[in-house]
């Protein structure tokens, strides 16, 4: 399954549209006024399905991931000098990024790829392509990319 993640050009808070390969809407993401990033995810029908919430009392960006009301885990940015490094505390998955911080892959405890995200260049807003071999992991993959994008934006402030 491939998802296309596009940030909306004109919005006060982070706002994204997530499309399937065929161009249909898979998810919408709406940023809400809060201390830190709060990204609410809805399915194509508008029903809430997930939440990425920044934990603000942390030295480096850290985000809690929720599916509905269920806490799934967290992703946090680590102190590093040459490339962005993230620790994912969820499902036994690990995140590996390139030195520019544009491409990320997530693998499970057996080393199988769970998802791959690539940031596309030369766009006015953030655009990512997210490849997810198992569609059941699509929401979690989206939340990971949202958290990484928010952490990278926080680091550039």
Backbone angles phi, psi at 67, to 5 degrees: -110, 110
77-120 pLDDT, tens digit each: 998 887 888 999 999 999 998 877 679 999 999 999 999 999 87
141/46 Cα distance (integer angstroms): 19
Among residues 70, 76, 27, the alpha carbon closest in space to that of 54 is found at 76
pTM summary value = 0.88
Question: Average pLDDT by consecutive 10-residue portion of the chain (157 residues)?
Answer: 79 78 94 84 96 89 95 93 88 87 90 92 76 96 92 63
According to the model, what pLDDT value does residue 128 have?
86
According to the model, what pLDDT value does residue 13 have?
62
129/98 Cα distance (integer angstroms): 15
Angle at 40 between CA 35 and CA 29, to 5 degrees: 115
According to the model, what pLDDT value does residue 157 have?
42
According to the model, what pLDDT value does residue 84 have?
82
> What secondary structure letter does DSSP report for 59?
S
């Amino acid at each position: 399954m491939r998802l296309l993640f596009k940030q909306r050009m004109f919005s006060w808070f982070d706002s994204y549209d997530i499309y399937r390969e065929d161009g249909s809407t898979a998810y919408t993401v709406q940023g809400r006024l809060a201390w830190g990033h709060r990204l609410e995810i809805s399915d194509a029908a508008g029903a809430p399905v997930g939440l990425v919430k920044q934990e603000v009392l942390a030295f480096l960006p850290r985000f809690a991931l929720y599916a509905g009301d269920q806490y799934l885990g967290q992703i946090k940015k680590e102190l590093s000098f040459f490339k962005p490094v993230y620790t994912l505390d969820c499902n036994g998955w690990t995140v590996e990024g390139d030195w520019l911080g544009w491409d990320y892959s997530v693998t499970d405890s057996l080393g199988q790829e769970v998802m791959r995200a690539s940031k596309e260049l030369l766009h006015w807003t953030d655009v990512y392509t997210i490849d997810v071999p198992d569609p059941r992991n699509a929401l979690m993959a989206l939340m990971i990319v949202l958290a990484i994008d928010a952490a990278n934006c926080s680091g550039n402030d």
